[in-house]
Structure 1
């Protein structure tokens, strides 16, 4: 049977979990801080609101900030800006490839404050800076990279999409993998190629095969499902007791749970 173990319940809104060196790093988005959990320790405050992140080959953390639209690097002692991003939307989730190239979402609009419109996926390397990888992506959110394909949740389109990665880092839309339910958020991939997809508005995590066939669901007990990540042989699930209206007022309580008997 599945057994969920509580890891943390003292967060506000846990996003972009990344496992590294025995710790789970998390953007505690609406608390404006970068943390590690188990127990919770604050790495640094992030005034621009932390969003997607990923570890570069040298072990430093690349972090997107949503509100001031910057890419920054946490070098162990301080956040250092490396690029400004021109957009009317917000910066969102991210994935970093083994060669250090990052892809991250530009939402295209401010959720809950404006009418939805298409956003973009952007790509970054230290040598090239930031450039557009794909246009007309509907609220690009959780991302995973597998070979020459980038799998992306398009939250306001309620679908998980696959893009072909070209040699220069730009993307070609290939296919819709699955329509898992309302507002798919973060995303992670298991060793067998299957995907775990949190449904923010659905209150559950869905598990699908690499081909998009449904395997199982995990109910959140009324919380919103935010993000997930593998680490140390377990699946970590990030949830929050909140609503979109409450988030705008700064009301939320975030949780991280560990599913160890996969």
Structure 2
């Protein structure tokens, strides 16, 4: 069993970690800010619409979804909106491909406020704007691209699913990769093609093979397992010390953990 080493403990609720230029870029969701984490935690900018999923575009700028106002935004030294999204719920996690095409989740409902219903996955390019790529996706969350497939955590269905990516960015549901536990949240892919899944409802991170077999687990010690990412040989894990009731009021303490030579 691997022990969690704390890299930072001064966040509120860290989501969507992305390694770029020697640092982690983090949506500190309930602090309404974008931050970077390295030797220190530094605020990049305040995000009034509540930051959600993100990914880096080919020109090095950051594409960022904002949950509450349902927008896509770019950070390139200044923060500016680039698209309004006709979401039925809140905007959630995101992945950006090497050509700059992005996919991001529409939760379909507000967790803990409304009755669950299916959401959707949108795709976006700067030329085409946002389009619905897949319907009937249950709370689409952490995403990774592997070849011509998009792997997505469907949180309220307790499963990780695989979609085939069509040439126009549309998605075709292919198969269930794994049902690793309750409410899978963040997702990261290792260099060997295996996956790390943050189980929000299970208080642990689960390592899953390409074929869907559970290889190992990391317990969070009672914290919520939120998200994960790789960067320069290390696995970074985001956790939060909170409850759903406290989180709705913005009360939380967020941590970044680093596991080297994973």
Q: How high is the TM-score relative to the length of structure 1?
A: 0.98
Matches of 1:175 and 1:4, distance apart in 2:
32
Contact 2:2 2:218 in 1 (8 A): no
Query: Which runs of structure 2 are paired with 1:190-209 in the superposition (5 Å)?
Result: 190-209=190-209
1:72 aligns with 2:73: yes
Contact 2:4 2:220 in 1 (8 A): no
Matches of 1:115 and 1:5, distance apart in 2:
37
1:176 aligns with 2:202: no
Matches of 2:101 and 2:80, distance apart in 1:
18
Match of 1:97 in 2: 97
1:224 aligns with 2:224: yes
Offset from partner CA, 1:49-87 (integer Å, 9 cap, x none): 0000000000000000000000000012x1111000112
How far the C-alpha of 1:45 sits from its partner, in A, is 0.2
Matches of 1:17 and 1:182, distance apart in 2:
21
Unaligned 5+ segments in structure 2 are none
Match of 2:144 in 1: 144
Match of 2:29 in 1: 29
Runs of 4+ in 1 over 4 A off after TM superposition: none
Instruction: Calculate the aligned-residue CA RMSD, in Å.
Output: 0.8
Contact 1:72 1:81 in 2 (8 A): yes
Unaligned 5+ segments in structure 1 are none
1:43 aligns with 2:17: no
Match of 1:123 in 2: 123
Secondary structure at 1:62 match in 2: strand
Match of 2:154 in 1: 154
Match of 1:210 in 2: 210
Matches of 1:217 and 1:143, distance apart in 2:
20
Contact 2:88 2:119 in 1 (8 A): no
